[in-house]
Amino acid sequence: MLAATYQAKDAHIVIVGGQSGIGKALIPKLLEANARVFSLDISEPSTEFEDQNFSYHRCRPTDLEEMQAIAEEISRSSPKLTGLVCLSGTIKHFKPMLEQSPEEWQEVFDISFKSCYNACKVFASGLQAAEKGSIVNMSSGLALLGQKNYGPYSNAKAAIISLSKSLAAELAPGIRVNSIAPGAVNTDFLRDKEGNTRVDLEMYQKLIPLGAIARPEEIADLIMFLLSESSSHITGQCIHINGGAMMV
């Protein structure tokens, strides 16, 4: 089997939503490749990654002013960014759209889309300063599939595909922008606050030609590829990673 290895000594990567399951799988891969990693999220700081090349910045990604302040702070130590990864998303209000209040709908949409929009807006200049870089935005297979109870999340993730294509055209040729659309991934995202799964995982797994739900490390590997020069001619694409559950 062919094994991919990366050397990222001069890479400076910002991860928005780095405390997620996929973020926690991605960060050690980047650190192992000697990248400088800036993780942004709303949760309390974690001591999980104690590395001189890692720093955590607590903020609300949905707040443009807070994001701008963090971007300015990061630019003082790393004026030239080489990568941005946007992972934020939530299905906090898991019920039919007609039963959601406008405030509930907006909350899910903002966390799942506006966080990405804000990050691209405030960090694009740092990527442009480096003259070459990559943005990877997290969409979802649900952006293309109609599923009950996922309304505002699906809407937001569909918007991310469109946003990424627009940015790919606007930031070319120096900056590549792609989105990825996973199917089910074995993280806490699949479970509600009581720990119950939101879908029948056994039944779902039977529908996957490759026979397994994705591990967060597999999604992280795709992100590593898209951040690297190995994907130098890929931009404006939405790449599906779902074990064949949906073939687009």
Instruction: Please tell me what DSSP assigns to residue 215.
Output: P
Question: Which H or E run contains 219?
Answer: helix 216-227
d(CA 68, CA 61) in angstroms, rounded, equals 10
Question: What backbone phi and psi angles, to 5 degrees, belong to 23?
Answer: -60, -40
Phi-psi region for residue 113, left (φ > 0), alpha (ψ -120 to 50) or beta?
alpha
| Angle 89-234-179 from CA coordinates, rounded to 5° | 10
Is 204 catalytic? The answer is: no
Cα four-point dihedral sign 188, 135, 44, 42: negative
- Say if strands 175-182 and 133-138 run parallel, antiparallel, or are unpaired: parallel
Placement of tokens 């996922």 in the chain: 150
Closest-CA residue to 175 (of 123, 116, 109):
123
| Angle 106-108-112 from CA coordinates, rounded to 5° | 115
Catalytic residue, candidates 56, 117, 153, 204: 153
d(CA 28, CA 221) in angstroms, rounded, equals 11
Neighbour tally for 83: CB within 10 Å: 27
List residues with catalytic annotation: 153
